[in-house]
Copies of this chain bind each other. A is one copy, B any other.
Amino acid sequence: MTNPKEAAPKATGHTQRGQCSKRLSILDAAAEVFCREGFAGASIDEIAVEAGVSRQTIYNHYREKETLFTAVVEDVMNRTNASLFSILATFPGTPGNLEDDLTAFAVRLTKNCLCNQDGKILRKLVQSEGERYPQLFEGWRKHGPGRIGTALAALFARLSHGGALQMDDFDLAARQFLALVNADLQMLMLFGESPTAEQLDNAARNAVHTFLRAYSAPAANPATRLPMRADSDPRRTGQA
């Protein structure tokens, strides 16, 4: 999905590129099919066709279906983890406007980690097969939302220490921040649709606005109290 490859879904068979890019084709196709059909519903032949690869090639690289499945999960998890890291580093060290900074940060987070194809695949696989593969689930918990949670908590601790926010439980605030960001998005994601840039922006704006009303330090921020109705941004509201 994210890997650079030719997307020809039904190449009749022969040569398309170097021999080792087949692994990537297989992983991507398998991720797609596992996500769409579930582990039990996905057939190796379907994956082979979608990858433009012979079935035997799949069995050569990954001994059996389960091996392929865990390889897919690890692959998606690694990619998501990497992009997570790079996003977390983008929050400005010396903030200008806190609301704008947080909003832009939330947009980057949703666009590149939570709502992209990898995020969708990961969420669906964890939900549908997580109970059957506890070790896989544990890895996701540590590398995915676990890491994002603690990183966010650290960010909020920094902002609180600097006087911009006021809270007594950073982990709780991190969980609530993520929950608020998802509030307008999760319905969309269940539908399998990926939100438009405008929907992402609205969702982030709504989330951050409410978050800051709850957590911004008393005198520090203009968006804190009262000005409720006369709002500078007319499209802050509205269903995502």
Also in contact, A176 and B124, with CB within 8 A (given A41-B38, A141-B187): no
A199-231 contacts to B, CB under 8 A, are: 206-207, 210-211, 213-215, 218, 225-226, 228-229, 231
Task: Flag whether A7 is at the interface (Cβ < 8 A).
Answer: no
Q: Which residues of A contact B (CB under 8 A)?
A: 36-41, 124, 126-128, 130-131, 137, 141, 145, 166-169, 171-172, 175-176, 178-180, 182-184, 186-187, 190-192, 206-207, 210-211, 213-215, 218, 225-226, 228-229, 231, 237-239
Which 6 A/B pairs are nearest by Cβ-Cβ distance? A40-B41, A179-B183, A213-B214, A214-B214, A169-B237, A38-B38
Q: How far is the CA of A187 from the CA of B190 in the complex (A)?
A: 17
- A190→B41 contact, CB < 8 A: no
Also in contact, A171 and B210, with CB within 8 A (given A180-B180, A183-B178): no
Main SS at interface, chain A: helix
How many chain copies? 2
Q: How far is the CA of A131 from the CA of B192 in the complex (A)?
A: 7
- A226→B237 contact, CB < 8 A: no
- A218→B214 contact, CB < 8 A: no
Contact partners of A215 in chain B: CB under 8 A? 210, 213
Q: How far is the CA of A77 from the CA of B183 in the complex (A)?
A: 22
Q: Can you identify 8 A-B contacts, CB atoms within 8 angstroms?
A: A39-B41, A130-B190, A172-B183, A176-B206, A176-B210, A178-B183, A210-B215, A213-B213
- How far apart are A188's CB and chain B's nearest CB, in angstroms? 11
Contact partners of A127 in chain B: CB under 8 A? 124, 127-128, 190
Q: How far is the CA of A236 from the CA of B87 in the complex (A)?
A: 31
Chain B residue with Cβ nearest A167: B228
- B191→A137 contact, CB < 8 A: yes
Q: How far is the CA of A32 from the CA of B182 in the complex (A)?
A: 28
Also in contact, A145 and B187, with CB within 8 A (given A172-B206, A213-B214): yes
Contact partners of A237 in chain B: CB under 8 A? 168-169, 172
- How far apart are A33's CB and chain B's nearest CB, in angstroms? 12
Contact partners of A38 in chain B: CB under 8 A? 38-41, 128
- A228→B168 contact, CB < 8 A: yes
Contact partners of A41 in chain B: CB under 8 A? 38-41
